[in-house]
């Protein structure tokens, strides 16, 4: 069985610097794959390549059998990939409710959207998702006024409104308190029953609580892949994380 | 949680109704002073212009220093139509200024303007089409922010020069002065009568209602979203460039309507419509009034232009210094313009009064 998302021999150079080096990865449906690695390993760049923010120098990206290499961001997004950014990207001047409404991007035709005034047809969905990410009581609040954790959840909520089957999350728990991390773990474990997720993360404690598969990147290439137990025993990974290079 | 009544959509509409009722009373208040009425109608045109700019800049985040392009093209289209209305298609085909320039046959570009309907349609379509093409080129290339502003400014200057240079088509710096008022069917829209006031009033009303509705639609929400964070909007699957182009072109369309009304009211157009200073002053109206609010953008235009007409005569060129001083004050202390001040005051009173207001909110920018 072919994976939902396949990366084949990706390469990315910025001038002479090889950021991604012959990196291949396969992600299967309804699983949660964690992408870990030290700083500068190329994790975020990999997400950039998948979502079309940058074009790979060579290699192929295949989503559900369709080659999406080098397509525009919004086109890739329409094929079913949602992305949460490392620095949370939400619409700060809009209310939480409006953020979710914008994320409901079923209809992208601007002309049709000019004549659309009602949120009736997605109101139920919006309430459900707000509930799932724990923001039901914050709907009328300006998104810029939310706490850091709430902003992260709002962004996850927006991905759910967008309804993409494949979600890429870049450091979803960065800067969260322990309580907030636990809540995020619950949200993600709930999500992976219905979605496919790729999570970029540093925090191995967090990874242990959510990952089905862990992929370790180092210097832009694949270092190891396996379950969390296998990874934690892997000597090479230990060297990279604990040995000569520091985090 | 209490919502500032400033952000309540129902209250906003109520204020618009009051505003337009007040405007509708103006002919009664002014009475027989047709010159004053004509001047106030011109302010209405400035109001339409301010509306177009606050839609594009305040709402869509696209700073446009070249709104004069659409305005100028619209006004020239209207003036050409009016000019040909005073000519005869068989006997007296060529406007006098062309004869002075030794033009012997009417240039082809003028031909469609024999028909008033076609002429006015062109006066609206050409600027809109220009905005679609120019905006499309810019936004697809992800030109935004100050870079876009500079491009519009450069484009505006180019138009200014071209309209001066094409003397045989546009009468250069002298511009076009149609000798007769606009005729619509059997009726004459005399600029010095309440008829033209009502034409401008209806134009302003329609533009405002449509613009306000757009801001409340899903489209409007997405436009606001792209102003906040274009990248996020793109990653939600929207074609940001397309949305930007449409809001920019729509704003240009409204400015073209203003241009038509202006030519109708003044029976005079000149490259002055493409003057850089004039387009910048539109930005100042909207900034002082409050760019995030359509209504306050219009009020800003009324206030600044009104003050200019009366104080400008007394202070002469010192007036520009006074205007600049106020502009600096607003930018530094009231980034949301006077609208921001009103919002803060209303927020203060509503948080002091008990009882909750409606929750149908439309947050505005107060930064």
Contacts of B63 (CB under 8 A, 6+ apart): B57, B145, B146, B148, B149, B283
List, run by run, the mean pLDDT of 10-residue segments along chain A (247 residues). Answer: 81 86 89 88 90 90 89 89 89 92 89 84 89 89 90 92 90 88 91 90 86 89 87 82 54
Which residues in chain A have their CB less than 8 angstroms from residue B228's CB? Answer: 91-94
Question: Which strands sit side by side in the sheet containing A66-67, from one edge to the other?
Answer: A17-27, A5-14, A58-63, A66-67
CB contact under 8 A, B236 and A105: yes
Q: What is the pLDDT of residue B230?
A: 93
Which residues in chain A have their CB less than 8 angstroms from residue B209's CB? Answer: none
DSSP bridge partners of A222? A217
CA–CA dist B5, B361 (Å, integer): 9
DSSP bridge partners of A32? A197
Report the SS3 class of residue A149.
helix
CB contact under 8 A, B234 and A117: no
Q: What is the pLDDT of residue A2?
A: 62
Give tens-digit pLDDT for B260-308.
Answer: 999 999 999 999 999 999 999 999 999 999 988 999 999 999 999 988 8
For residue B162 the two structure tokens come to 């071209």
List, run by run, the mean pLDDT of 10-residue segments along chain B (367 residues). Answer: 75 93 92 90 96 95 95 96 91 89 90 94 97 96 93 96 93 92 86 92 96 94 94 92 96 97 95 94 93 93 90 81 89 89 87 51 41
Q: What is the pLDDT of residue B259?
A: 97
For residue B89 the two structure tokens come to 């298609």
How does DSSP assign A37-93, residue by residue? -STTSSHHHHHHHHHTSS--SEEEEEETTEE-TT--HHHHHHTTEEEE-SS----TT
CB contact under 8 A, B221 and A108: no
**Range(s) for CATH 3.40.50.300 in chain A?**
1-80+165-178+194-247
Question: Which strands sit side by side in the sheet containing A32-36, from one edge to the other?
Answer: A81-84, A166-170, A196-200, A32-36, A213-218, A221-226
Query: Which ranges of A115-203 would DSSP assign to H, the alpha helix?
Result: 120-132, 148-162, 178-191
A96, closest residue in chain B (CA to CA): B363
Fold category of A1-80+165-178+194-247 in CATH: Rossmann fold (3.40.50)
DSSP letter (8 states) at residue B105? S
Contact residues, A window 75-104, toward B, CB-based 8 Å cutoff: 77-78, 82-83, 85, 89-95, 98-99, 101-103
CA–CA dist B359, A181 (Å, integer): 31
Residue A199 parent element (H or E): strand A196-200
Contact of A145 with chain B, judged by CB distance below 8 Å, is answered with no
User: Most A CBs within 10 Å: which of B7, B59, B140, B236, as the mutation test of the A interface?
Assistant: B236
- Asked if ipTM goes beyond 0.90, one says no
CB contact under 8 A, A158 and B236: yes
CB contact under 8 A, B363 and A51: no
CB contact under 8 A, A113 and B222: yes
User: Most B CBs within 10 Å: which of A114, A118, A152, A154, as the mutation test of the B interface?
Assistant: A114
């Amino acid at each position: 069985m072919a994976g939902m998302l396949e990366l084949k021999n990706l390469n990315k150079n910025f001038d002479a610097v090889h950021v991604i080096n012959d990196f291949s990865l396969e992600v299967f449906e309804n699983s949660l794959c964690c992408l870990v690695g030290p700083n500068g390993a190329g994790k975020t760049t990999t997400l950039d390549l998948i979502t079309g923010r940058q074009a790979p120098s060579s290699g192929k990206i295949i989503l559900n059998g369709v080659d999406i290499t080098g397509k525009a961001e919004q086109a890739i997004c329409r094929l079913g990939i949602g992305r949460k950014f490392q620095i949370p990207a939400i619409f700060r001047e809009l209310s939480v409710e409006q953020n979710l409404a914008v994320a409901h991007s079923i209809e992208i035709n601007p002309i049709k959207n000019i004549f659309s005034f009602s949120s009736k047809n997605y109101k139920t969905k919006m309430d459900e998702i707000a509930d799932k990410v724990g923001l039901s009581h914050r709907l009328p609040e300006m998104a810029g006024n939310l706490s850091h954790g709430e902003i992260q959840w709002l962004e996850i909520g927006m991905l759910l409104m967008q309804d993409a089957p494949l979600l890429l999350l870049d450091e979803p728990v960065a800067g969260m308190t322990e309580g907030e991390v636990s809540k995020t773990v619950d949200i993600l474990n709930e999500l992976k029953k219905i979605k496919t997720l790729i999570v970029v993360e540093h925090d191995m404690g967090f990874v242990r609580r959510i990952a089905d598969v862990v992929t370790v990147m180092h210097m832009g290439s694949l270092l190891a892949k396996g379950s969390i137990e296998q990874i934690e025993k892997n000597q090479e990974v230990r060297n990279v994380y604990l040995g000569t290079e520091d985090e | 949680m209490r919502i500032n009544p400033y952000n309540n959509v129902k209250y906003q509409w109520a204020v618009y109704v009051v505003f337009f009722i007040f405007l509708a009373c103006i002919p009664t208040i002014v009475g027989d002073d047709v010159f004053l009425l004509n001047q106030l109608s011109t302010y209405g045109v400035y109001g339409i212009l301010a509306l177009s700019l606050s839609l594009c800049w305040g709402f869509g985040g696209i700073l446009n220093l070249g709104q004069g392009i659409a305005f100028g093209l619209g006004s020239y289209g209207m003036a050409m139509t009016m000019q040909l209305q005073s000519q005869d298609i068989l006997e007296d085909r060529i406007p006098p200024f062309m004869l002075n320039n030794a033009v012997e046959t009417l240039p082809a570009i003028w031909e469609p303007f024999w028909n008033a309907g076609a002429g006015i349609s062109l006066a609206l379509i050409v600027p809109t089409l220009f905005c679609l093409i120019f905006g499309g080129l810019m936004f697809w290339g992800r030109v935004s922010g100050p870079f876009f502003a500079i491009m519009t400014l450069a484009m505006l200057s180019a138009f200014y020069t071209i309209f001066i240079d094409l003397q045989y088509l546009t009468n250069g710096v002298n511009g076009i002065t149609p000798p007769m008022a606009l005729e619509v069917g059997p009726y004459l829209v005399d600029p010095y009568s309440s008829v033209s006031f009502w034409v401008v009033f209806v134009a302003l009303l329609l533009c405002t209602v449509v613009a306000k509705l757009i801001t409340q639609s899903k489209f409007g929400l997405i436009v606001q979203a792209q102003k906040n964070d274009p990248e996020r909007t793109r990653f939600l699957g929207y074609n940001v460039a397309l949305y930007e182009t449409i809001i920019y072109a729509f704003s240009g369309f409204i400015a073209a309507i203003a241009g038509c009304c202006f030519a109708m009211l003044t029976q005079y157009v000149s490259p002055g419509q493409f003057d850089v200073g004039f387009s910048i002053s539109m930005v100042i109206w909207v900034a002082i009034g409050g760019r995030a609010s359509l209504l306050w953008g219009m009020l800003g235009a009324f206030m600044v232009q009104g003050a200019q007409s009366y104080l400008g005569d007394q202070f002469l060129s010192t007036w520009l210094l006074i205007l600049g001083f106020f502009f600096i004050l607003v930018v530094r202390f009231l980034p949301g313009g006077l609208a921001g001040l009103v919002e803060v005051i209303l927020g203060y009173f509503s948080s002091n009064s008990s009882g909750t207001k409606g929750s149908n909110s439309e947050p505005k920018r107060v930064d």
